[in-house]
Structure 1
């Protein structure tokens, strides 16, 4: 999004306008620049239409922001505008089913091939099967693991998809998944692991950096969520989850995903600045 559509005072509440634009398919984001709110869109043609709607907004012709009135409509719209996020959640549910009921399916998605032997399982690296670099993200071990990850994928992934598009989310997810998986393999070679947690921490890092450097409503996470996620990362690294009987945690995947998310945000912001010629 490289076209400036309008500027407004910081004191002006643009939520009604932003909601109207979202409902009518206008991809946009709002940032603070030089003491003003700046609304960005994709092209000069869209910018002109948005300026028309802004005049309607100023004259009171647009409906006013109401969370209660728009919650049901917003829920259905989120499904329609977040197809990649939805697919990731569905694939995670399928992966959890494979983990619970199909050793062959788990073996196909795991980083290592799993072969049952007399006294347990034999894990083997499979050169040339490159999908294994990513697909462990869909494996989930238990209902709690699946529920926790699916909720965070939906909460964070759809924000990125709404703001930057489905293709961007897909590319970012692939990079985060591969990066976090390789970090875990490097740290604990020869051990099974799985789950979307590394990707989720990557989403978190990506969103936090963007919101810090280029604020936009879609990335406005409550501070409590960020604090909770980082606190949970520390708790897991300290080993308290094992003491509580929740099992081992893929801490390297969490850290690797977070680092990849920070890097991805930095690179995309740099590319945006280059594209804008700033």
Structure 2
């Protein structure tokens, strides 16, 4: 933010204007300088928009207060009592997938990327041409109580924020896109190995929220820095093989990284599209 859009006296409450600008996708910052409030933007076009909105507000042509009230209602942090059908459906489906995994490999084969065929010494994994649902459904497989518990908690913590802020359909589309990307990344990196879990999707949620909050901040996407640092640190720890060294088993690191990258890409694309359509 290096371009000054306008100055206003300290007595003027610019919070409603700020909420309105966020709603319109105009990235900005407000600071105090030489006894005045200064609104900073990224480019000249945004500066022109900010001045135009402010002048209309001063002239009584724009009811920023009413619009800001609506925006605050839309941008409030996700509340546990909100109805979040997709978030809940993902958790329930993951619990069912964990149950299938624990009961028998044959049942989990319905959701896994590879088909499992019983042989004398175990199971043979083979690809299933044309069964494209397998690109996504491994996200519901979970191996053990800790695996499903950990992932369900993070789906609830991150997924509900996205569904609350941007709607159930958007969360569903984002989940499918990130799930497919993370699964195919894992298949490419370690072909012929059984894998599963929502971890790749969860890292996709993380990347999406962090990028969105950086360029188009909303209260629902305010994550404590400790959470972001912990998850990125855990990603690094897993990638260097620490979990295998201490006997916790192999981790689908490519799925984690693929999910994170794809979540970032979707967020950038969504923000750019929103900015273009708002002009």
Q: 1:186 to 1:53 in 2, by over 3 A?
A: closer
CA distance in 1 between partners of 2:193 and 2:219 (Å): 40
CA distance in 1 between partners of 2:85 and 2:26 (Å): 25
Residue in structure 1 matched with residue 66 of structure 2 by the alignment: 51
Residue in structure 1 matched with residue 174 of structure 2 by the alignment: 172
State the number of aligned residues: 233
CA distance in 1 between partners of 2:275 and 2:202 (Å): 26
> Gapped runs of 5+ residues in structure 1?
1-6, 15-27, 39-46, 58-64
Instruction: Show structure 1 runs of 4+ deviating over 4 A.
Output: 28-32, 47-50, 52-55
Q: Aligned ranges for residues 109-148 of structure 1 at < 5 Å?
A: 109-148=111-150
Please say which structure displays the higher CA radius of gyration.
2
CA distance in 2 between partners of 1:208 and 1:49 (Å): 28
**How many Å apart are 1:33 and its aligned residue?**
2.7
Q: Aligned ranges for residues 14-163 of structure 1 at < 5 Å?
A: 33-35=28-30, 51=66, 54=69, 74-77=79-82, 80=83, 82-163=84-165
**How many Å apart are 1:32 and its aligned residue?**
6.2
CA distance in 1 between partners of 2:81 and 2:208 (Å): 25
**How many Å apart are 1:103 and its aligned residue?**
2.3
> Gapped runs of 5+ residues in structure 2?
1-11, 31-38, 40-49, 51-61
SS for the counterpart of 2:277 is: helix
Aligned equivalent of 2:14, options 9, 17, 42:
9
Query: TM-score of the superposition, structure 2-length normalised?
Result: 0.76
CA distance in 2 between partners of 1:213 and 1:254 (Å): 23
CA distance in 1 between partners of 2:259 and 2:230 (Å): 17
Residue in structure 2 matched with residue 256 of structure 1 by the alignment: 258
**How many Å apart are 1:124 and its aligned residue?**
0.7
